[in-house]
Amino acid sequence: MMCAGIRARAPLLAGGAAARRCLPGLRAASLAAPLCRGLAPLGRFPPFASSGPSGLRTAFSSEDGIFEITMLGDSKDEKMSWGTQVQEHRITPTAVVGLNAALDEALATPSAKSVLLRGEGRFFSNGFDLLWMDANGEKCDALQADTERLLARVLGFPMPTVACLNGHCTAAGAMLALAFDKRVMRSDLGWFFVPGIDIGLVYSPGMTQLMRAKLPVPMQSDVLTFGQRYQAEELVQLGVVKAAVKGETEVHSRARELALEVGPKGKHREAMRGIKACLYAEAIAALESPDKGGGMGFVSRDGAGKSDKPST
């Protein structure tokens, strides 16, 4: 549901009800006891309104325990039926369903220790598929809600997660990257930014909370309010990206090294899930309930605070 105005889309205040669900301290106890209340069993996530196939490939290496998900497509000549270049790896209902299915597969692999997501070619993800949204205006709200729940799921995933940013990483694609625990980015190709201010778009409370949770405070205003663009080396200095690596093959190799490095921390999945649930309580709560806070939308030209669906 699109929100009625700017006020409805203001970021949720830190320290709210979701954060208060966390226990005030840790004590010696069984790992079966959750650190936050209300955690769903592993492998379960809210129902999604979308369905269909997706251009993803999954691969698991029993030698290193890395469960790898690849967003396929690296040619500018290959297009969706509605005109979007496949190489942009834009977010559509089929992409959301495919990513959720891949995460299900990772959870169902007992020997998997970490999850790695990467794209092929020049793009990690160029955000929502605006051409698809133009043609499917009545389905935009469902796509946004499904995407936000996917972001919440990745943010609180009970295994270490690594995003290999092989190229441009923008808008909702940048938020997908931020939802992962660690990021490695290609230094010779790719920009990271969210362009809301440049196109008159206000991001939802959940998306805003996600960016607040994962970006250093001095960077938040530059990213959200001013749409500043960053390359890999800058993001390393800011602590957003773990490493900047030249070349598509090389950045993939470095991302796998990082996934291998953090893999042992995925031994106790319930513990990791509980820690993330408390650490990102506000963002997860807002993303899992997008209808409560209002969705993202374009501000009307008259500045009255009204909003239109992103498909317009």
* CATH number of domain containing 287: 3.90.226.10
pLDDT given at position 292: 66
Q: What is the mean pLDDT of the chain?
A: 81
Residue 146 is assigned to a structural domain of this protein:
yes
- Helix or strand or coil: residue 287? helix
Residue 1 is assigned to a structural domain of this protein:
no
Residue 55 binned pLDDT confidence (cut-offs 50, 70, 90): confident
Residue 69 is assigned to a structural domain of this protein:
yes
Residue 2 is assigned to a structural domain of this protein:
no
pLDDT at 37 over 70: no
pLDDT per position as a tens digit, 232-288 = 999 999 999 999 999 999 999 999 999 999 999 999 999 999 999 999 999 999 999
Range of the domain at 248: 7-24+33-308
| Averaged pLDDT for residues 70-74 | 91
Of 7 and 42, the structure prediction assigns the larger pLDDT to: 42
Residue 48 is assigned to a structural domain of this protein:
yes
Q: What angle do CA 279, 285, 287 make, to 5 degrees?
A: 110
pLDDT given at position 63: 85
Residue 188 is assigned to a structural domain of this protein:
yes
Q: Is the dihedral of CA 55, 227, 300, 14 positive or negative?
A: positive
pTM for this predicted structure = 0.81
Q: Beta-carbon neighbour count of residue 285 at 10 Å?
A: 23
Of 10 and 90, the structure prediction assigns the larger pLDDT to: 90
First to last CA, the chain: 15
Residue 153 is assigned to a structural domain of this protein:
yes
Residue 279 is assigned to a structural domain of this protein:
yes
Residue 154: its H or E element:
helix 140-155
| Averaged pLDDT for residues 176-183 | 98
Residue 72 binned pLDDT confidence (cut-offs 50, 70, 90): very high
Q: How many domains does the chain have?
A: 1
